[in-house]
Amino acid sequence: MDLSYTAEDQAFRQRVRAWLAENVPRQKLTTMEEKKAWHRKLYDAGFVGMGLPREYGGRDARPMEQAIVGEEMVRAKAPPPLNGLGIAIVIPTLIHHGTEQQKRRFIHKLLTAEELWCQLYSEPNAGSDLASLQCRADLDGDEFVINGQKIWTSGAHNADWGLLLARTDRTAPKHEGISCLLVDMHSPGIEVRTLKQISGSGEFCEVFFTNVRVPRENLVGELNAGWRIAQTTLSYERGGNTLSRYARMLQQVTRLLEVCWVLQRDGRPAIEDPVVRQKLGQIYAEMEVLRYASLRILSRLERGLRPGPESSLAKLHYSELDKRVQESILDVLGPYGQQVGGLPDELALVPGVDYGEEGSWMYAFLWSRAGTIYAGSSEIQKNIIGERVLGLPKEVRADRVAAQTARAASGDGAD
């Protein structure tokens, strides 16, 4: 056990820090063109998809190097690259299950953000129970015909392509009738509507499919093998890069400490109030534990151990912690934490942000409510931890009972 960074890692961190100091845009990126140009710059510097094998445009970077880049990007307040979900989920899916032609056609353009991607999984009636999805893909000659609705699709309004889970066999048990397809988001019959979230912003979309035709060659893996394919890559989304999440919380709490010297509470700076100090000490301690736990995961990854169901512990940890941290921040700041317009600069997280824009205390507070829902809710994570880490018996579930009853009934019929 040695928790110090190697000289090599420290030197790498210095190089990343120097590059970011030189290159991070001074002004906020507003247009998609500017965002793509910044993404391309990051890619050319080797900081996008860097953990991927070189043959697919990555750098074969070690988990530690990826973590360092993630942390330093937050530290330098660098805008994130585009296609985050695509890089985390679509590329591994293609590498593991795609055809040679699919890999050549899609991976490079995704990495360079020449094409933007979205992930078409959740539906209005298939959230935690994703496998009950109803969006249909019916084979018609050499094409699939897609009909149905997806929701909570990040960035669908900008996307060129989407990774779709759709039902291709309605007679099979629910996990066995799903396929994974690559969909051109510019196809006729696709309608995208942005959803306004509680933060006032609109990152998520609803996507409606009406007789959308997708060539059969865009099937990933085998027909009806979509659930298994999705399972192998969902844990990428869950494992996440917890160190950069820590870095983001640290940035906020460091700013909160500064604000606490200015903000008066009961006639003295908030930082001198023992109750405030308890809250600050608690959230800082909890954040440090997140950092330690992240280092522990990272060191396992460095040893070549893949995150299994344990990644659910990490996801549960940081998303639930984020809610606690944000609540504490608003406790300490009182009404000032909820003020978006007109908040004095000396009390602001980032001065001058408008409602629904990233950079206010309120925005981070509201977004913490999403983290325990997306990418597998806390309740789903606890099921996974209970059953696959602790080995507890599976719960009695109505859909399993129904499937068993159906199987037994069809078995009886065959006799």
Interacting residues toward another protein by CB under 8 A: 1-6, 9, 64, 257, 271, 274, 277-278, 280-282, 284-286, 288-289, 291-293, 295-296, 298-300, 302-303, 313, 316-317, 379, 381-383, 385-387, 389-396
Q: Are 88 and 237 in contact (CB under 8 A)?
A: yes
Q: Are 85 and 93 in contact (CB under 8 A)?
A: no
- Select from 134, 149, 160, 137 the least CA-distant residue to 195: 149
Closest approach, Cβ 301 to another protein, in A, equals 10
Angle in degrees, CA 249, 295, 281, rounded to 5: 40
Integer Cα distance of 229 and 214 in angstroms: 19
Closest approach, Cβ 297 to another protein, in A, equals 8
Task: Pick between residue 36 and residue 245 the one whose CB is nearest to another protein.
Answer: 245
Closest approach, Cβ 351 to another protein, in A, equals 23
Q: Are 199 and 366 in contact (CB under 8 A)?
A: yes
Q: Cα torsion for 342, 344, 349, 353, to the nearest 10°?
A: 30
- Select from 77, 45, 62, 50 the least CA-distant residue to 9: 62
Task: Pick between residue 32 and residue 389 the one whose CB is nearest to another protein.
Answer: 389
Residue 159 Rama label (left phi>0; alpha psi -120 to 50; beta): beta
- Supply the residues annotated as catalytic: 237
Task: Pick between residue 192 and residue 280 the one whose CB is nearest to another protein.
Answer: 280
Tokens of 104: 């050549």
Task: Pick between residue 3 and residue 398 the one whose CB is nearest to another protein.
Answer: 3
Q: Is 268 helix (H, G, I), strand (E, B) or coil?
A: strand
Integer Cα distance of 346 and 325 in angstroms: 21
Closest approach, Cβ 338 to another protein, in A, equals 24
Q: Is 155 helix (H, G, I), strand (E, B) or coil?
A: coil
Q: Are 111 and 284 in contact (CB under 8 A)?
A: no
Closest approach, Cβ 352 to another protein, in A, equals 28
Closest approach, Cβ 227 to another protein, in A, equals 22
Closest approach, Cβ 261 to another protein, in A, equals 10
Closest approach, Cβ 58 to another protein, in A, equals 21
Neighbouring residues of 230: CB distance < 8 A, sequence distance ≥ 6: 93, 121, 130, 165, 178, 180
Angle between helical axes of 311-333 and 361-371 (0-180°, round to 10): 150
Other C-beta atoms closer than 10 Å to the C-beta of 102 total 18
Integer Cα distance of 239 and 141 in angstroms: 39
Task: Pick between residue 9 and residue 206 the one whose CB is nearest to another protein.
Answer: 9
Task: Pick between residue 395 and residue 415 the one whose CB is nearest to another protein.
Answer: 395
Tokens of 387: 């059953």
Task: Pick between residue 393 and residue 413 the one whose CB is nearest to another protein.
Answer: 393
Task: Pick between residue 20 and residue 146 the one whose CB is nearest to another protein.
Answer: 20
Integer Cα distance of 215 and 183 in angstroms: 9
Kindly state the helix (H) or strand (E) to which residue 19 belongs, with its residue range.
helix 7-23
